[in-house]
Amino acid sequence: MDLAALRACLACPVCARTLQNPTTLPCGHTVCQTHQISPCPLPHCAPPPRPARPRIPPASRVNYLPPPPAPLAPPPEHTPKPDVTINKVLALLDSVLGEDSSYDDDDDDILRSAPRSPTVRTRPDSPGPSRPRKRQRIHDDPSDDEGDLLSHLMSAAARQRDTAPHVSLTDRMRPLPPPPSLEKELQTELACEICFMLLYSPVTTPCQHTFCSKCLHRALDHSNLCPLCRDSLPGFSFFDDHPGNQTLETLLATAFPAEYTARGAAIAAEERDARLDTPIFVCMLIFPGHPTALHFFEPRYRLMLRRCLEQDVPSFGMIMPARTGAGAGVTAQTADYGTMLEVRSVQMLADGRSMVETWSTYRFRILERGTLDGYTVGRIERIDDVPDSPSLTLAGPSNEELMETCTAFLHQLRRGTAPWVVQRLNNVYGAPPADPAAFAYWVALILPIDEFEKAKLLPIRSARLRLRLVVHWIEQLNNNWWFTSGCVIF
C-alpha cells in the first residue's frame, strides 16, 4: 500500500491540493469547502454514466417507465457539512504520517521520499507555525557561538556516519512502508455502515454519509431517513441513478484492488442466485390467461421486483396466503399451487413504489420453498393439462353442454343484478373464451364463492374435470337460500 498513491487519490480536483474539509457534491465530485459548491466548480462537470437501475436486459419486453426526475437537493444555506468518510480517511493518514503531515503540497515529493524521524525540524518556508528553539551555548564567548555550534554539529554528524550502517541514496529516496495496522484501519473506515463490508459503488447522501448504492436503496425501501443521522433524504428517485463518490471509488480501487473486485463479484453472484430461485408474491388467487394490475409498496416486494426486472423474461409467481383458523387443513394442499405472472409494464413512482401490469401465463406447484430478504422463493414445477381419457369423455354431459350450463347461469346472474355490476363484469373479465380449458377459469372468477374454494381448480390437469367442478358450484348456488326468484344479492 503506497501512502503517496493514497494521498494522490485525496487531492482536490479544483486546486490539486490535499482536500481540506472536503464535501461531496450531488454530481459525485469531492472538493474543499472553500470552493464554490453550487453549481459544481469543475468546468464541464460530467459525472461518469451509471447503468440504469434495475439493469433491464436488452432482450426484455417489459415496458419500464422510470420515475419522474427528482429535483436536485437545494444548496445548504449554511456552511456545507464535511464528507464523514473522507474526513476519517484523511485523519487516519495524518496520524500515520505524524504531525509533519500538514506540509505544503509543493513539497510532497521531497517529504514523501525522505526518511521520517521524530526529530525533523520545521522547514523555514513551511506554512506551519514556527516554534522558538533554544541554542545550546558551548562557550561563554558570544562572538564564538555560531562557529562553535557549527563545529559541534559537523563533528556529531561525522561520528554518526562512522557508527551508523551505510544507507544508499536509493534506499534513502524509497518511501517508507506503511505500518502494518494501516490496512486494517483503512478498511474499517471504508466499510459501509449498513452491511459492514467494504464499500461498493459508494453513494454519498446530502448529509455527507456514504453507503453502498444497493444498501442505500434497500434502506430507502423502508424509510426516507438517513440510516445514521436520521436526516430527511430527498427520496428514492433522487438516488435511482445518482452518481457515485468518485474520490472514494478511486481510493477503493487504489488501496484494495483485489478486495474491491471480489466484493463486486460477490454482489453479482448474490443477485444472480436471487434470480435463479423463483420469487413468489403472496397476495391473491390468479388464474392463467388474465391481466392483473398490482401495486408494489412493501420493501421486500420492491426489492423482489427490481431483481425480477433484471431477467430476460421478468416474471414471478403468485399464490394465496395460507388460511388460518378453522378450515386451514383443508387448504393446505392448494397453498402450494399458484400462477406465474409475466411483467408487461412498470410505472415507477418518485418514492420507490411502482404500478405493475402483468399477464398470468401458467400454473405451478411449489416443490420447495424458502425466504430470501423477506420474500418467499421456491423451486417450482410447471403444471400443464393432459388429454382427457376416452372413458372420462363419454361419461356425463359433453364439454359444450357444461359450458352452456355455465353460460345460462351467468345470464341469470346478470338479469337479477344491478346494472353497474353487469358493467363491471363485462369490463373486468371481458368476453367468455371459447376454449374449454380457459372457460372454467373465466367462470370461476365471476362466481360469488370463497376464493379458497376456487383455488381447487389450480391442481386439476383436465379441462373437463374443471368444467364439472364449476357446474357443481353452480348447482350449489342454485340450492342456496339467498339465490331465489332469479335475484342475487351481493
Is 347 part of a structural domain of the chain?
A: yes
70 touches 234 (CB < 8 A): yes
Is 326 part of a structural domain of the chain?
A: yes
In this prediction, the residues of the chain whose per-residue pLDDT falls under 50 are: 99-140, 142-143, 167-173, 330, 483-490
Residue where a domain terminates, one of 348, 383, 418: 383
186 touches 255 (CB < 8 A): yes
Distances (CA, A) of 157 to 145, 154, 308: 18, 5, 73
206 touches 233 (CB < 8 A): yes
Peptide bond into 178 cis (omega under 30): no
Is 373 part of a structural domain of the chain?
A: yes
Cell digits of residue 406: 355455465
Is 27 part of a structural domain of the chain?
A: no
Is 152 part of a structural domain of the chain?
A: no
10 Å CB burial of residue 8 (0-12, 13-18, 19+) is: middle
- The verdict on 372 and 395 lying in the same domain is no
Q: How many domains does the chain have?
A: 3
Q: Is the dihedral of CA 394, 400, 405, 406 positive or negative?
A: positive
Cell digits of residue 201: 459503488
Residue where a domain terminates, one of 383, 407, 437: 383
Note the pLDDT of residue 425.
64
d(CA 413, CA 489) in angstroms, rounded, equals 10
Note the pLDDT of residue 46.
75
- The verdict on 373 and 332 lying in the same domain is yes
- The verdict on 261 and 321 lying in the same domain is no
CATH number at residue 469: 1.20.58.1480
d(CA 74, CA 76) in angstroms, rounded, equals 6
Residue where a domain terminates, one of 241, 271, 301: 271
- The verdict on 343 and 377 lying in the same domain is yes
Is 457 part of a structural domain of the chain?
A: yes
| pTM score above 0.85 | no
CATH number at residue 225: 3.30.40.10
CATH number at residue 327: 2.30.130.40
- Structural domain for 368, as ranges: 277-383
Note the pLDDT of residue 131.
44
233 touches 205 (CB < 8 A): yes
d(CA 13, CA 32) in angstroms, rounded, equals 9
10 Å CB burial of residue 11 (0-12, 13-18, 19+) is: middle
d(CA 469, CA 460) in angstroms, rounded, equals 10
**Cβ atoms < 10 Å from Cβ of 347:** 14
- The verdict on 254 and 283 lying in the same domain is no
d(CA 127, CA 308) in angstroms, rounded, equals 58
355 touches 295 (CB < 8 A): yes
